[in-house]
Amino acid sequence: MEDILKALICASERAASVAKSCCIGAAKDSLLVAEKGEGEANARFDKDFKTIADVLAQESARYEIALRCPDLAKQLRGEECAEIGGVTIKLCESEEKTAELLSSLVPLQAAKRMAEAAHGEIKVTLNNPPVHVADINPCDLGVWIDPIDATAEFIAGVRGEADADRGLPCVTVLIGAYLRSTGEPIVGVINQPFYSGGKGRIIWGVSYGKTRKWSEGDTSKHSIDKTVLISGAENPAIVKKFKACGWEVKSVPGAGHKLLKVAIGEAAAYIVSKGSTFRWDTCAPHAILRAQGGDLLCYTTHKPVTYNDPMECDTQQYANSGGIIAYTNTKVLEDLKKILN
């Protein structure tokens, strides 16, 4: 288990390094923003975008996990199609070759910075790792990768066009492992690359068998305050219900960012009544919430979300179509049910 957790953490840090590399130099001209095609776009948005950083970060994370856990190589799935601007992005056999590939899409200096980030040495110290965890069959594991969650905030932040409480601090890298046999999320990593002015931070959790452990260790931070997070497109009738019961309703960017806030106790819950989040958004945070005694449920059925979908599906089939309810405290869940009913 420790090897798997460390692989996911290192993969998240490599993806984070790629994201950070875009903030150096003339980044406005080096992001290569492309509109997603019909098959890969989020139906919630009129237009959905990805950047060269999204794609390279994902392929870098894939490479890192496959290198450290070869048995997982064929069970890695990500949000992004590897093609952008007519070029299929991959990590080549050397930093120079990767830079050459990227330079067909962005200026050479930007390509070199990105390639250096993708190939550079990753140093991660895993403090207080989980011990006495039951054996896991690697053949029963799958992984979901969201390389840069909140891409719109990432683009605005890199270009210096974001408001003070938005932009780069809302960006997360999400990598979660699940059991292919049951669909349960068991290991999750949330990397916040631009936290504290770019210092960054990593939150992880393990929920497997009798083991429940997360990086912060202390569950006393669990929020039972009446604060619920929503998306800007949430049903106004639901917002009205919460406000009528004395809850504070906040809309902040990024599914991963909102789930992180629930995990670290800055909000009691995150509610989505529509199918606007996807497996790659929720797998990693879900494992962390479960490590704390919480869960991530389908909004309509109140059953836990699972992640063992068939490997080759259309993007929309990976949506959490019934919505989600995320929380760390079971008392909060009971309060949410009363309000929503």
Establish whether 149 is a catalytic residue: yes
How far apart CA 292 and CA 314 sit, in angstroms, is 32
C-alpha–C-alpha distance, residues 48 and 41, integer Å: 5
Cα→Cα distances 326→219, 242, 244, 308, Å: 16, 15, 21, 19
Separation of alpha carbons 75 and 49, rounded Å: 25
User: Is 116 considered catalytic here?
Assistant: no
Q: Which two tokens stand for residue 203?
A: 């939150």
Catalytic option among 4, 52, 65, 148: 148
Q: Which residue has the tokens 């029963």?
A: 140
Given 4, 51, 54, 234, the catalytic residue: 54
The identity of residue 221, as a single letter, is K
Exactly one of 51, 151, 315, 328 is catalytic; name it.
151
Q: Is 79 a catalytic residue?
A: yes
Report angle CA 26, 31, 35 to the nearest 5 degrees: 150
**Token output for 198:** 């770019």
Which of 13, 59, 64, 149 does the annotation list as catalytic? 149
| Chain CA centroid to CA 233, Å | 20
| Angle of CA points 150, 156, 159, to nearest 5° | 140
Angle at Cα 298 formed by Cα 297 and Cα 300, nearest 5°? 135
Annotated catalytic residue within 59, 79, 153, 234: 79
309 is catalytic: no
CA–CA gap between residue 303 and residue 325 (Å, rounded):
10
Asked about 148 being catalytic, the answer comes back as yes
29 is catalytic: no
Q: Strand pairing of 227-230 and 269-272? A: parallel
Active site residue 165: no
Catalytic: which of 153, 234, 281, 295?
281
Residue with tokens 């210096």: 160
Active site residues: 54, 79, 146, 148-149, 151, 281
